[in-house]
Structure 1
Amino acid sequence: MKSIYVIRHCEAKGQQREARLTAKGVQQAETLAGFLSNMDIDRIISSPFVRAIESIQPVAERKDKKLELDDRLSEKILSTRNLPDWLEKLREAFDDLDLKFDDGESSRDAMNRVTSVVEEIRQSDVENTLIVTHGNLMALLLKKFQPDFGFEDWRNLSNPDVFLLQFLDNNEVKVERLWVSDTV
């Protein structure tokens, strides 16, 4: 059975590509490494955003695994402009997957982007892969396999967060949240 662990990055200082983890986020990354220490991980693929890399670096070091970067795991671009009502726009984008704002990408486009990473993993010989991404993209990936996963579920994600996708022989996908948000 093929397993993909989907990780949301730890607490960060901002949303920019270069945003680093907060002091709490650094502690969370160590806790995350301990949490994943008993899990068999063959491959680690991360968003190239600094906060994602810093979140999973302790795991890569403990497991002695190369950290692969993949732009397709970057956060969804809601808009290229500052949206004062961004939260409401995000809610709308969960309800209408084809909605786009100011040169942003639609939820469907972002979902297809992250799903392409998962499909490549499914076709590979690797059994246990860990992917590190961002909240909105993670929510869209989970929505792909659980269509009722929506805006409120996104709001309830924690930093970090861990879900397990298991691909069963009958092409069914089992989705399980592994992280207990009050761990950190």
Structure 2
Amino acid sequence: MKNIYLIRHCEAEGQPFETKLTENGIKQAIELENFFVDKQVERIISSPYKRAVQSIQPLAERLNLEIELDNRLTERVLSPKNFPDWYEKLQDTFEDLDLKFEGGESSHEAMNRIVEVIEEVVRGTPDNVVIVTHGNLMSLLLKHLHQDFGFDDWKKLSNPDVYLLKYRNYQTTFERIWK
């Protein structure tokens, strides 16, 4: 059986690549480390965004594990343009997975990136892996696994958030395990 702990990063100061965690986000990263103290984590893969790496750094240090950076785990780009109605546009992309705005990627395209990472982890070793990513990408993976996971579920995600994906005998289940 494979256990994949899918983590949304802790509270951050903003959206750009180099954005750091807030003071509260740094405390959350320590809470995250403590949350995993009784779990057997053998590998950590993260988005290269600073807020994602900072979220898992305390756990990586405690376990003496390298954080493997994977560009396929970066946040989904809705568009490089700043839309005043981005929230509605994002909602539309949950209803039409092929909808794509200028310079951005569709939900299907973003979903395919994270699904690739998950499939590689499932085929490989070890059996207990942490993956750190961003809210939209995380929700698209969960939608891939369960068609009914949608925009309203994305809105309910917290920073941080943790889902446990279990792969056993070609069957996948997931559950939210963060408090």
| TM-score (normalised: structure 2) | 0.99
The Cα shift of 1:125 comes to 2.2
Aligned to 1:114: 114
List, as ranges, runs of 4+ consecutive aligned residues in structure 1 with deviation greater than 6 Å: none
1:92 and 2:86 are equivalent in the alignment: no
Aligned to 2:79: 79
> Separation in 1 of the partners of 2:17 and 2:161?
19
The Cα shift of 1:2 comes to 0.7
Aligned to 1:173: 172
Q: How many residues align?
A: 179
CA RMSD across the alignment = 0.5
> Separation in 1 of the partners of 2:154 and 2:110?
15
The Cα shift of 1:102 comes to 1.2
Letter in 2 for 1:86: W
> Separation in 2 of the partners of 1:125 and 1:27?
31
Cα deviation, 1:53-72, whole Å, max 9, x if unaligned, reads: 00000010111111100000
> Separation in 1 of the partners of 2:147 and 2:64?
36
| TM-score (normalised: structure 1) | 0.96
Structure 2 gap ranges (5+): none
> Separation in 2 of the partners of 1:144 and 1:60?
28
> Separation in 2 of the partners of 1:15 and 1:143?
22
The Cα shift of 1:47 comes to 0.2
